[in-house]
């Protein structure tokens, strides 16, 4: 974190110093909410929880070197007392940004946020010291937590901006105002929070609307709802995509073995890219990341080199590995919505395999009244991709089997245990297996296969 005294932090958060806290003590480390991660020079954020209360671990954090604790009730260590811990860390993050000269880059969209954020982070790291959101820690705690990792020499801050309703992205932007805003797509996801796709679009448009005339909005030219956001921002607009009208595009696209090759075209010229990431959807993510890097002044050659060397950084996202018997596993089990499900199934159809293509698919959550149609469509996509066997896992996935009329083997199983048993009995050397579903719903299956892992690609 940018060094601050406890007195300065108390002022920024509206907190009150305890009698044992030294106002002149300097905090140089980050802020942690897990006492096991507390370290010298940092702060510990004590939050009450359903099962444990962080206040009970204040002394542990102090023993591990924390300068003080941000607390909501009395603790027996130096503390800054606040009314609301989450509001306090958000206020502290705003002060960190105010003192920093880092360029803030925000990324949002219905899917691909985490992968694109990871790509932008890797490209920015080639330009200067960079802080970016870890995994998809993008909520009201993870966002300011990430911002508070900014140090005096940080040049780029890359933030994933998620929302489950209107106003959420604006709130995150107010903590760390972006100079560059990337909008990937608008799709069907979290309908329990948004209600419909048009409300989703309005929520995602909060990022370009927040940008001022000195900023840059990087928009997907191939998504009409995203492209329309150009009229709602004061910022300069740069389009990415594969169709006409894109400033950043991919020419001579070659699917390769599922890791695509293409010629990156920017307003400054072209350069070849050979991706390490699997799936056509990563081409869009790469183009969005290239747009951000181009705005920051990187040359086409430097961007292409970075994209060609960029790897997967977040778990359970298109993680492709090989088992000892030659079976290929595509672990994309972190989460799922209709767009990401379709992209993963398409990738399964592209990966070369000596055996069968098997899709093990769990529920796509939060689709409300569209659930049945979306799951039936996923089954049809499996058939279109040439999948040989579909295993639909858990309640709500039965329509996948109905949609997969042309798949040779399409079955529904009640739970992950049954899916694992079916794989144990039927998996053959050389098969390729995709595991995908909304959070937690296929993790046991992926972990069963991961336990057999031999060589990560």
Do residues 215 and 178 lie in contact, with contact meaning Cβ atoms separated by under 8 Å?
yes
Domain that holds residue 61: 4-85
The yes-or-no verdict on residue 238 having pLDDT over 90 is yes
Long-range contacts of 330-333 (CB under 8 A, 24+ apart): 330/278, 330/432, 330/433, 330/434, 330/435, 331/435, 331/446, 331/449, 331/450, 332/434, 332/435, 332/436, 333/362, 333/435, 333/436, 333/437, 333/442, 333/443, 333/445, 333/446
Does 231 reside within a domain?
yes
Q: Which pLDDT value is given to residue 137?
A: 85
Query: Could you tell me if 188 and 115 lie in one domain?
Result: yes
pLDDT, averaged across the chain:
95
Does 95 reside within a domain?
no
Q: Which pLDDT value is given to residue 392?
A: 98
* Count of domains forming the chain: 3
Does 91 reside within a domain?
no
Which of 400, 324, 306 lies closest to 362 in space, CA to CA?
400
Q: Which pLDDT value is given to residue 228?
A: 98
Query: Could you tell me if 53 and 109 lie in one domain?
Result: no
Q: Which pLDDT value is given to residue 192?
A: 61
Q: Which pLDDT value is given to residue 331?
A: 96
Q: Which pLDDT value is given to residue 74?
A: 95
Long-range contacts of 346-349 (CB under 8 A, 24+ apart): 346/279, 346/280, 346/281, 346/381, 346/385, 347/258, 347/278, 347/279, 347/280, 347/281, 347/318, 347/434, 348/385, 348/387, 348/432, 348/434, 349/384, 349/385, 349/386, 349/387
Query: Could you tell me if 289 and 342 lie in one domain?
Result: no
The yes-or-no verdict on residue 52 having pLDDT over 60 is yes
Query: Could you tell me if 133 and 164 lie in one domain?
Result: yes
Q: Predicted confidence band at 191 (pLDDT cuts at 50, 70, 90)?
A: low
The yes-or-no verdict on residue 318 having pLDDT over 80 is yes
Q: Which pLDDT value is given to residue 457?
A: 47
Q: What average pLDDT does range 334-362 have in this prediction? A: 95
pLDDT digits (tens, 9 = 90+) for 85-131: 999 999 999 999 999 999 999 999 999 999 999 999 999 999 999 99
Query: Could you tell me if 176 and 240 lie in one domain?
Result: yes
Q: What average pLDDT does range 375-392 have in this prediction? A: 97
Task: Please state, in angstroms and rounded to a whole number, the distance separating the CA atoms of residues 211 and 188.
Answer: 25
Q: Predicted confidence band at 315 (pLDDT cuts at 50, 70, 90)?
A: confident
Query: Could you tell me if 266 and 142 lie in one domain?
Result: yes
The yes-or-no verdict on residue 193 having pLDDT over 80 is no
Q: 188 vs 429, which has greater pLDDT?
A: 429
DSSP E strand stretches across 39-97: 43-45, 68-71, 79-81
The yes-or-no verdict on residue 430 having pLDDT over 90 is yes
The yes-or-no verdict on residue 456 having pLDDT over 80 is no
Where does a domain end: 62, 85, 108? 85
The yes-or-no verdict on residue 353 having pLDDT over 60 is yes
Token pair listed for 236: 């300069």
Does 33 reside within a domain?
yes
Query: Could you tell me if 358 and 303 lie in one domain?
Result: no
Q: Which pLDDT value is given to residue 378?
A: 97
Does 94 reside within a domain?
no
Does 314 reside within a domain?
no
Q: What average pLDDT does range 433-446 have in this prediction? A: 96
Q: Which pLDDT value is given to residue 426?
A: 94
User: What pTM was computed for the model?
Assistant: 0.91
Token pair listed for 126: 């080639």
The yes-or-no verdict on residue 199 having pLDDT over 50 is yes
Query: Could you tell me if 139 and 279 lie in one domain?
Result: yes
Does 92 reside within a domain?
no
CATH of residue 328: 3.90.190.20
């Amino acid at each position: 974190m940018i060094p601050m005294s406890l007195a300065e932090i108390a002022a920024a958060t509206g907190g009150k110093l305890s009698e044992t806290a030294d106002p002149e003590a300097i905090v140089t480390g980050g802020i942690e909410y897990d006492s096991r991660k507390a370290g010298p020079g940092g702060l510990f954020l004590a939050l009450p929880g359903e099962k444990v209360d962080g206040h009970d671990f204040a002394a542990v954090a102090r023993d591990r070197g924390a300068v003080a604790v941000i607390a909501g009730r009395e603790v027996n260590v130096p503390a800054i007392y606040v009314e609301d811990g989450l509001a306090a860390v958000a206020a502290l993050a705003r002060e960190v940004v105010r003192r920093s000269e880092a360029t803030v880059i925000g990324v949002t969209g219905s899917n691909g946020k985490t992968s694109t954020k990871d790509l932008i982070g890797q490209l920015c790291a080639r330009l200067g010291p960079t802080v970016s959101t870890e995994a998809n820690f993008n909520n009201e705690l993870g966002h300011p937590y990430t911002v508070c990792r900014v140090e005096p020499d940080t040049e780029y801050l890359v933030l994933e901006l998620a929302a489950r309703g209107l106003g959420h992205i604006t709130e995150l932007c107010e903590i760390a105002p972006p100079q560059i805003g990337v909008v990937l797509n608008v799709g069907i996801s979290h309908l329990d929070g948004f209600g419909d796709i048009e409300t989703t679009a309005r929520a995602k448009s909060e990022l370009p609307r927040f940008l001022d005339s000195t900023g840059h909005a990087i928009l997907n030219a191939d998504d009409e709802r995203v492209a329309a956001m150009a009229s709602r921002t004061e910022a300069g607009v740069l389009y990415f995509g594969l169709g006409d009208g894109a400033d950043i595009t991919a020419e001579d696209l070659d699917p390769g073995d599922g890791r695509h090759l293409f010629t990156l075209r920017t307003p400054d010229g072209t350069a070849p890219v050979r991706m390490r990431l699997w799936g056509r959807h990563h081409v869009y993510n790469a183009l969005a990341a290239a747009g951000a890097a181009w705005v920051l002044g990187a040359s086409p050659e430097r961007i292409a080199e970075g994209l060609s060397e960029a790897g997967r950084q977040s778990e359970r996202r298109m993680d492709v590995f090989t088992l000892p018997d030659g079976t290929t596993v595509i672990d994309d089990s972190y989460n799922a919505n209709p767009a990401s499900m379709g992209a993963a199934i398409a990738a399964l159809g592209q990966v070369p395999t000596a055996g069968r293509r098997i899709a093990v698919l769990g529920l796509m959550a939060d689709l409300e009244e569209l659930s049945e149609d979306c799951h039936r469509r996923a089954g049809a996509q499996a058939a279109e991709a040439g999948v040989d066997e579909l295993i639909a896992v858990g309640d709500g996935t039965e329509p996948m089997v109905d949609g997969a009329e042309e798949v040779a083997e399409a079955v529904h199983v009640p739970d992950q245990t049954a899916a694992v048993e079916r794989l144990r009995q039927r998996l053959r050397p050389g098969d390729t297996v995709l595991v995908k579903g909304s959070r937690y719903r296929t993790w046991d299956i992926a972990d069963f296969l991961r336990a057999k892992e031999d060589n990560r690609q």
